[in-house]
Chain A
Amino acid sequence: MIRARGLERRFGETRALAGLDLDVPRGGFLSVAGPNGSGKSTLLALLAGLLAPTRGSLEVDADRAEIGYLAHEGLVYRELTAFENLELYGRLYRVPERRERIGMLLERHGLWDVRHRRVSAFSRGMAQRLALCRTLLHDPRLLLLDEPYSALDDAGARLLDAHLAELAGERTLVVATHDPARLRPLASAELVLA
């Protein structure tokens, strides 16, 4: 599913990622840990196709429609409501029966009652839940989650645990985290970036 050899990414003089070899099979669950600035977010952006490698090779066996990417930012419009954002993304991702799918995700992530509220009025935790809904909306085959537990309260984190447990094995997951112990029961491999 994912194969990288000698993967390197530079931003000017700064080397964000250096000589990484990586294999993630279909259905694999890779947990990516490391301190701030170790290249976790860069790796996920490379896998999503947002960045191109400076050196080395990278093969990702999934097209854009099959990738769900959760970034630090929500990738949603602040002045649209939660529902309007998901409606727009649902259309662009060609989600069948998207209103039902959107309703199910909002309900599950505890956002149904605030679906007509603008994102600018959301707390950070609510915005993160919405970002998760956007990432999962098109039922992607490959999930790239950059610190998905960030800003979630205990209930939100438990919900995400349950969601990841459902997806593990069925979908390919690459999850960057500062808390690899939390993912250890689910992860099939662990990568620690220095």
Chain B
Amino acid sequence: MTYLGDVAALARTSLLLELRSRDTVPALLLFVVSALVVFRFALPADASDLAAIGLLWIAVVFTAILALTRAFVAEREGRVLDGLVLTPCDRSAIWLGKALGVLAFLLVAEAIALPAFGLFFAPVDGATVAAFLLADLGIAAVGTLLAAIAAVSRARELLLPLLFLPLVIPVVVGGVGASVEPDPGRYLAFLGLYDGIFAILAWATFEYVVTE
């Protein structure tokens, strides 16, 4: 219970900071809608919905990079991350609390992005929504770990996308597959497996990222 209480306190702090500063979510919404507008004009008029679905996934992945770039900004200021690392709480709780915050921001962005996609292209089906929910879990898990690695390094703006994009390729493969295949079950299962593996890896390795 203490562990979950720590996670809840840290996740609540992430959300409270965003409510106060409104730095991240408005930028995510603006970015994802702008990207969809650009894609709307970039695609030829006779392009298939399948191509559009691919672009939706690209828009969400780049929106996630934006969210992750901001993930540890508050902790970098005033070296709060050092302060949290020095407390006796399990360090993985810091990762989990922050990942839940990132997950919430992604869900808000997609709550706008998916209806906007329906408006510009075609409505998404239930399998696509399920794929996004599963993809968000994986993106938040692995992305928060990578954001922490980037936060403690000098070339953080460069490092995060370089580390994140190769690791998110399976999410795009699973997500696009679930969105366009008639039987999305195996792609959703693949996304679930990715989530499980990377959540465990991130949970187990976070301590080594934030300590020497």
Spell out A's residues near B (CB within 8 Å). Answer: 48-52, 63-65, 67, 69, 71, 73-80, 84, 88-89, 91-94, 118-119, 134
B30 contacts the other chain (CB 8 A): no
Interface string of B73-110 (1 = CB under 8 A from A): 01001111011111111000000000000000000000
B50 contacts the other chain (CB 8 A): no
Interchain CB contact (< 8 A) of A49 among B13, B17, B86, B89: B86
Which residue of B has the minimal Cβ distance to A94? B88
Contact indicator B80/A71 (Cβ below 8 Å):
no
Contact indicator B89/A76 (Cβ below 8 Å):
no
Which residue of B has the minimal Cβ distance to A64? B88
Which residue of A has the minimal Cβ distance to B85? A50
Excluding A49-B86, A71-B82, A118-B20, 7 further A-B contacts by CB distance (< 8 Å) are A64-B86, A65-B87, A67-B86, A76-B78, A79-B20, A84-B16, A88-B10
Contact indicator B6/A78 (Cβ below 8 Å):
no
Q: In whole Å, how far is A63's beta carbon from the nearest beta carbon of chain B?
A: 7
Q: In whole Å, how far is B170's beta carbon from the nearest beta carbon of chain A?
A: 34
Contact indicator B82/A77 (Cβ below 8 Å):
no
A76: chain B residues at CB < 8 Å are 78, 80, 83
Q: In whole Å, how far is A62's beta carbon from the nearest beta carbon of chain B?
A: 11
Cα A134 to Cα B79 in complex, Å, equals 13
Judged by DSSP, the binding face of B is helix
How many A-B residue pairs have C-beta atoms within 8 angstroms? Tell me.
72
A63: chain B residues at CB < 8 Å are 88
B125 contacts the other chain (CB 8 A): no
Spell out B's residues near A (CB within 8 Å). Answer: 2, 5-6, 9-10, 13, 16-17, 20-21, 74, 77-80, 82-89, 211-212
B20: chain A residues at CB < 8 Å are 79-80, 118
Please indicate which of the listed interface residues A67, A84, A91 has the most CB atoms of chain B within 10 Å of its own CB: A91
B9: chain A residues at CB < 8 Å are 88, 91-92
A118: chain B residues at CB < 8 Å are 20
Q: In whole Å, how far is B90's beta carbon from the nearest beta carbon of chain A?
A: 10
Contact indicator B78/A79 (Cβ below 8 Å):
no
User: 8 A-B pairs, CB-CB below 8 angstroms?
Assistant: A52-B212, A71-B79, A78-B78, A80-B17, A88-B10, A89-B87, A93-B88, A94-B2
Interchain CB contact (< 8 A) of A77 among B2, B5, B13, B212: B13
Contact indicator B6/A91 (Cβ below 8 Å):
yes
B21: chain A residues at CB < 8 Å are 79
Cα A80 to Cα B74 in complex, Å, equals 10
Interchain CB contact (< 8 A) of B87 among A71, A74, A93: A93
Contact indicator A78/B82 (Cβ below 8 Å):
no
Contact indicator A73/B79 (Cβ below 8 Å):
yes
A89: chain B residues at CB < 8 Å are 83, 87
Cα A61 to Cα B181 in complex, Å, equals 60
Cα A69 to Cα B10 in complex, Å, equals 20
